[in-house]
Chains A and B, each alone.
Chain A
Amino acid sequence: MKRSRRSALAGLAAVGGAGVAGCLGGVVRDSFGGEVSDGDGAGDGAGGNGDGSGGDSERDSDGERVDGSDAGGRPPTVEADYHLAYEADELRSEALSGGVGKDGIPSIDEPSFRPIGEVNYAEGIPVFGVARDGEAKAYPRHVLSRHEIVNDEIGGESVAVTYCPLTGTAQGFRRGDTTFGVSGRLVNSNLIMYDRATDSWWPQMLATGIDGPMAGGTLDEFRVVWTTANAWAERHPESLVMTDETGYVRRYESDPYGSYAPLGGYYAKEATLFPPLSSPDEGHPKSVVIGARTEAGAVAFDKATLLADRVLTGSVADGDGGEERVVAVADPGLFTGYVYRNPDGLTVEPDGDAYRVDSEGGGFAAADLPLEPVLALDAMWFAWAGFYPDTAFVGEHTGAGDGR
């Protein structure tokens, strides 16, 4: 009896000792740290709406991609940079710990899936949809919020689907032979990823390296659709959905920040958890915008306005002191939007659930207009305006969320 009690105490002490040793012995780099177009959509890489060419390393239609070789296991990059409002050293200096260590939020490296038709989802449950090369997958937000990155393969191509809960951004990246992890640090509340080949830092929203051997590089990004499980299942009944069998155990049904269905907590409050790089003069910080960046500028379309009006037109800086016209259209079925360059100012009008473009007739799906696509993503307004204080804004400022 006495012996067994001693054994138990010794075991407890050993575990506790291991804990203390772990705490004191390691360096904590502290974090928190899509849509595919539907598979038949246009574009890829830095300019597409999602559904890409998959796997091949050479260029898209604009010849933008130049480094897809995945040399040395590095993540593939594209030559065309995104507009940045801050220098890399300033972004590095603004990076801070999110409260956990490097990989303290573990990426999912061996995801498991089941047919989406086998799951009865509650109404309004957000998922991030990706459709590339004929394969569609959905990643439930409540699972990814505990991991932020899933290293997966879609259509035979190695990709990372990423999500930052604090900025409300879901983005996909080609990853080559390496994988991405959560660095444990944030900038402008946004997840800073690191690649396991070079340990370079990549703020998710910027898709641009700010530290390490690949600083200055631009990741090859693709569209991820922020939608609902039921909407995605209706559009892609053959889709797979990621399960919560991640290799880790988490309280997946409990979100430490709040909820999306119904909207509440952090996702609805005006307050942010970390100081933004800059704050917009107007608008609810947690209202959702469909943001797009080009080489020279950034533009944000209020998502609630876009879903209500179906078409919004605006402009973005062209880098030469002028502006170029852009147009955003809503996909009512998936509750999302797409952005296109519209240099000739063609008229875009709803045509049922599709669109009619100038003289080219109707029937164009929102993801497939005969215009040059600009990669777009959902983001909380404060996060977008924080990274791009010079952003153009189109629509009306609305409340938290996307109005649904």
Chain B
Amino acid sequence: MAAETAGPTDSPAARAVGLLRRTGFAVRAALGRRDGRVTAGVVAVAYALAYGVGVGHLGLRGPARGSATGPGPVVEVAVASDPLALLTRRVGPFQYEPVALVTVGPVEYLFAPVNAAIGLGLAALVGATLAVSVVARRGPAACRLGAGAGAAAGVPGILSGFACCGPTLLLAIGVQASAGLLAVLGWFLPLSAAGLVATLLWVGSRVDPDAVG
């Protein structure tokens, strides 16, 4: 299976198409290997969990404050009164209204469908990028992929996970908020998504098609 590559004399559009194809090939090839699939799966799940924690949708229950009925069941699902109306209600930059609270033992998860989709999308990007990176580095032939590719993919992902909880993030690191800083925080998520896509394309462009597979 050979990848199609763009020649040096091709137009920018053709070069872009070539880059996408080359990246697509690299991703497919990486996911075709067991180590690639494991890497993608583990990283994507870890990232999705981190994103959930970052936006405050996933975490441990706080201390019980009071109950009319005693301890609740181990698994409990509470749904908003009008979930369809709340589904796309935006509460902040790239943060949307949760429609259900799932409690499993000590763990709580607020299900906000749009944020869940965003989180899964970012997780897929991070997973694919690291899978390609890992497979390329472990491939039988030396490739041109630098060792920092994995880290480059991970940094914006980590930042995006906290993009929606800027003020509490600032509290944790002891930085006082300003209008400018808050404005920047509001764009962390799209910046992270763009960074991840760029990193994936860069990783894809650096992979030797003949060395992976």
Nearest residue in B to A272 (C-beta to C-beta)?
B176
What does the 1/0 interface line of B5-24 toward A look like (CB < 8 Å)? 00000000000000000000
A22 interfacial by beta-carbon distance below 8 Å: yes
Q: Which of B79, B92, B170 contacts A28 (CB 8 A)?
A: B92
Could you tell me the distance between the alpha carbons of A16 and B99 in the complex, rounded to whole angstroms? 16
Contacting pair A256 B114 (CB below 8 A) = no
Contacting pair A249 B59 (CB below 8 A) = no
A197 interfacial by beta-carbon distance below 8 Å: no
> Which B residues lie within 8 Å of A215 (CB)?
none
Closest CB in chain A relative to B98 CB, distance in Å: 5
Identify which of B63, B80, B176, B183 gathers the most chain A CB atoms within 10 Å of its CB: B63
> Which B residues lie within 8 Å of A142 (CB)?
62, 65
> Which A residues lie within 8 Å of B121 (CB)?
12, 16
> Which B residues lie within 8 Å of A404 (CB)?
none
B57-72 contacts to A (CB < 8 Å): 59-68
Contacting pair B65 A19 (CB below 8 A) = no
B78 interfacial by beta-carbon distance below 8 Å: yes
Contacting pair B86 A248 (CB below 8 A) = yes
Nearest residue in A to B169 (C-beta to C-beta)?
A99
Number of A residues whose C-beta is below 8 Å from B? 50
Contacting pair A119 B67 (CB below 8 A) = yes
What does the 1/0 interface line of A131-145 toward B look like (CB < 8 Å)? 000000000101000
A274 interfacial by beta-carbon distance below 8 Å: yes
Identify which of A229, A254, A259 gathers the most chain B CB atoms within 10 Å of its CB: A254
Closest CB in chain A relative to B68 CB, distance in Å: 5
> Which B residues lie within 8 Å of A253 (CB)?
61-65, 108
Closest CB in chain A relative to B31 CB, distance in Å: 15
A148 interfacial by beta-carbon distance below 8 Å: no
Nearest residue in A to B91 (C-beta to C-beta)?
A104
Contacting pair A122 B66 (CB below 8 A) = yes
B120 interfacial by beta-carbon distance below 8 Å: yes
B93 interfacial by beta-carbon distance below 8 Å: yes
Number of B residues whose C-beta is below 8 Å from A? 55
Contacting pair B179 A97 (CB below 8 A) = yes
Could you tell me the distance between the alpha carbons of A140 and B67 in the complex, rounded to whole angstroms? 12
Contacting pair A121 B100 (CB below 8 A) = no
> Which B residues lie within 8 Å of A251 (CB)?
56, 59, 61-62, 101, 108, 110
> Which B residues lie within 8 Å of A255 (CB)?
62
Q: What is B's interface to A at a CB cutoff of 8 Å? A: 56, 59-68, 78-82, 86, 88, 90-101, 108, 110, 113-115, 117-118, 120-121, 165-168, 170-171, 174, 176-179, 182-183, 185-186, 190
Q: What is A's interface to B at a CB cutoff of 8 Å? A: 12, 15-16, 18-19, 22-23, 26, 28, 30, 32, 96-101, 104-106, 114, 118-122, 125, 140, 142, 229, 247-257, 259, 265-266, 269, 271-275
Identify 10 new A-B residue pairs, CB closer than 8 A, beyond the known A104-B92, A121-B65, A256-B165.
Answer: A12-B117, A12-B120, A22-B88, A23-B190, A96-B182, A140-B65, A249-B78, A250-B101, A251-B56, A253-B65
12 contacts between A and B (CB under 8 A): A19-B88, A19-B114, A22-B114, A32-B167, A100-B92, A104-B95, A119-B68, A121-B65, A250-B110, A253-B108, A254-B108, A274-B176
